[in-house]
């Protein structure tokens, strides 16, 4: 079954502490993985995609095919990182670009 699992509904860390938001997936083919972020009262926006291999706002995510994971990490959390984070998956051969969504993790950065 195709599935994206974000085990933590809520993650709360202090400012300056490292952050890791977990994402595991189940997919039979070659997936493309994304992280989307939704700040308070704003639209969903793309944060990272695994094929880009870039760092956005200090966040990185590495696709680990052995562990079927795509965890989102940041070494030093900032208050403005507080938001809702969604991990999503798309099949590379999927011409419809449909995304399979995780349930989301609410990240709260405490001052």
Query: What is the binding site for other proteins (CB under 8 A)?
Result: 32, 34, 42-46, 49, 86, 90, 95-99, 101-104
Smallest gap from Cβ 76 to other proteins, in A, equals: 26
Considering the complex, state which of residue 49 and residue 74 has its C-beta at the smaller distance from other proteins: 49
Q: How far is CA 62 from CA 31, 32, 40, 87, in A?
A: 13, 12, 26, 12
Smallest gap from Cβ 46 to other proteins, in A, equals: 5
Considering the complex, state which of residue 93 and residue 111 has its C-beta at the smaller distance from other proteins: 93
Considering the complex, state which of residue 28 and residue 95 has its C-beta at the smaller distance from other proteins: 95
Considering the complex, state which of residue 27 and residue 34 has its C-beta at the smaller distance from other proteins: 34
Smallest gap from Cβ 99 to other proteins, in A, equals: 6
Greatest distance between any 2 Cα atoms in the chain: 44
Q: Are 31 and 90 in contact (CB under 8 A)?
A: yes
Smallest gap from Cβ 44 to other proteins, in A, equals: 4
Residue spans of beta strands (DSSP E) within the chain: 3-5, 10-14, 19-21, 24-26, 31-38, 45-49, 60-61, 72-74, 83-91, 100-101, 105-110
Q: Which residue is listed with tokens 């039979």?
A: 28
């Amino acid at each position: 079954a195709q599935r994206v699992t974000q085990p933590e509904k809520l993650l709360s860390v202090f400012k300056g502490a490292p952050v890791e938001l977990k994402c595991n997936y189940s997919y039979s083919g070659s997936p493309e993985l994304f992280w989307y972020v939704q700040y308070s009262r704003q639209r969903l926006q793309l944060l990272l995609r695994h094929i880009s291999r870039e760092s956005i706002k200090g966040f990185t995510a590495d696709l680990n095919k052995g562990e079927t994971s795509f965890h989102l990490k940041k070494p030093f959390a900032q208050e403005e990182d507080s938001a809702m984070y969604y991990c999503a998956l798309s099949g590379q051969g999927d011409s419809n670009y449909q995304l399979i969504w995780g349930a989301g993790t609410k990240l709260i950065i405490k001052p």
